[in-house]
Structure 1
Amino acid sequence: MKKILGALLIAGLSFSASSQAQAVDPKQEWARKVVALQQGPDLDALVAQLANGAAQQMAGTWTERFDTSVPKARQAKASEEFNAELAKFAADANKIITAKVGQANSEALVPMYMERFTLEELRQLVTFFESPVVAKYKTATPDLVNVFVKKLIETTQSDIQARATQFDAIAEKIVGAPKAATPAKPAKK
């Protein structure tokens, strides 16, 4: 009987220890909340930017080969097919990246928050991100960014255009003027 009670006591202690080991660290839970609350439309924009960057890299890789390998007569059709496939690639890249956000959060951001913030600071961050003013700020941010970008483009457009003209003149000296189309020779009779 003592052996059975002893075995049960040891099993109970083992179960208790393993259940405590599996208990979630409160700091980790608060860090997860902070990470979840801080991500929003900015994350979607970042994912789209990464996916589009991957698509642009693919397009750049294939441009020279496309120009040299596809006969002129077929280039319009091939370009249409290529661009459609490139759009599919970008959409798939977006899905792949989006699917990995949680893993990147768990493996990178959550540990960093846990390392750099106390439990109390994490609680304060959650309170901050959940506040109505931050929610309003997040809602307003896309409009604020659009207004800023529009104004920045408007105020720099003439200077950028002037610099582009200067660049074109220098690039033409380096590369040479575009070759003029050679007129077709009349057929001999």
Structure 2
Amino acid sequence: MSPNRSMSTLLSRLMLAAGLLASVGAALAADAPAAPIAASAVASPAKKALIQKVLTLQQPGIEAIARALVEQPVAPMVQQVSMIIQTRVPPEKREALQKDLQGDLKKYMDAALPLVRDKAVAAAPSTIGSQLDQKFSEEELRQLVTWLESPVARKYQFTLPEFQKALTDKLVADTRTAIEPKLRDLDSVIGKRLAAVAPPANPAAPAPAGTPAKP
């Protein structure tokens, strides 16, 4: 992995992370404690209270979306690094290198996850909350918060991907400029660590431009 590797692949993976969102539907009904999320300002008082209840129930899933977006572009890095460690790093240096890389990954997650998670929570009312306000009546929302096996629950599951896409699109747009430098820094740090302990993959690579060739 080169320290100068283009970030376009990682950003495209970030955009494609929306494909993971279909799997978090079950998490939206989790009972884990969560701070309330403000409901849409355009709703009537009664409907606003119902929307706020739905968003509060959804917060574990909203945070799962944020985690998926943060972790997705790192996954191919980890896979590639693991392969390089096993094939190119001397055995006696692997354990120390792995500990250093784990620290680098933790540093990235500690910096990126709260940022994206906060953006996800902040964007929920204007994306999911707005969709709930537009597509569900007060009575439907009243049924929805109970999570009963009912036609309204099936309707919600049917429209859930649309909610998630709206949130994901806004979240990617809002965090792209902040996350791209962090991914670039992580890629650079990993590349430097590997270069310090692993031999080049192709020792016979051409010399950089401007370097005179040997006679």
TM norm structure 1: 0.41
TM norm structure 2: 0.37
